[in-house]
């Protein structure tokens, strides 16, 4: 089964389960207010972190350094804002993990090390030198 299709099915089921469990513990009105509060706080914090990331990216560009981390952070913050808008507690937790810089850096480092390990396993390259040979040269094969 396709993993994206599986996520489309599992995520709403888990969200509904959590909404029912938490709603039965703290009440329906409190649950709804909590969902709106996390969305509003998350969106404002995403805006704040997005502006900080943009500022950091301009500083990197001014220093003639590629703003790679800042570009990834910007995309992660946008994705986190979407997760925070979606009603539910599980998506809010993942959204807040992506918004906070220490956890975002940890997630990036974890995935980049995994990607780097996968790339190093495939040593499909040959090192060598080359020399341009003129058309009328005798060494031409």
Two tokens, residue 140: 């031409």
Residues in Cβ contact with 90 at an 8 Å cutoff, skipping those fewer than 6 apart: 11, 14, 15, 18
pTM score, two decimals? 0.72
- Give the model's pLDDT for residue 123: 59
Tokens of 114: 């995994």
- As a whole number, mean pLDDT of residues 19-33 equals 92
Give the H/E segment covering residue 85: helix 68-85
- Tell me the mean pLDDT in the region 10-37: 92
Is residue 126 scored above 80 in pLDDT? no
Cβ atoms 80, 96 nearer than 8 A: yes
d(CA 105, CA 99) in angstroms, rounded, equals 10
Q: Please state, in angstroms and rounded to a whole number, the distance separating the CA atoms of residues 112 and 76.
A: 14
């Amino acid at each position: 089964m396709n993993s994206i299709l599986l996520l489309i099915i599992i995520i709403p089921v888990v969200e509904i389960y959590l909404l029912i469990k938490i709603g039965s513990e703290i009440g329906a009105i409190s649950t709804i207010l909590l969902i709106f509060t996390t969305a509003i706080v998350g969106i404002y914090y995403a805006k704040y972190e997005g502006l900080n990331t943009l500022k950091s990216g301009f500083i990197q560009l001014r220093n003639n350094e590629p703003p790679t981390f800042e570009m990834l952070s910007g995309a992660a913050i946008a994705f986190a804002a979407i997760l925070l808008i979606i009603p539910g507690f599980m998506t809010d937790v993942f959204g807040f993990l992506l918004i906070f810089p220490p956890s975002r850096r940890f997630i990036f480092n974890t995935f980049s090390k995994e990607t780097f390990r996968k790339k190093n396993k495939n040593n499909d390259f040959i090192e060598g030198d080359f020399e341009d040979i003129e058309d009328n040269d005798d060494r031409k094969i």
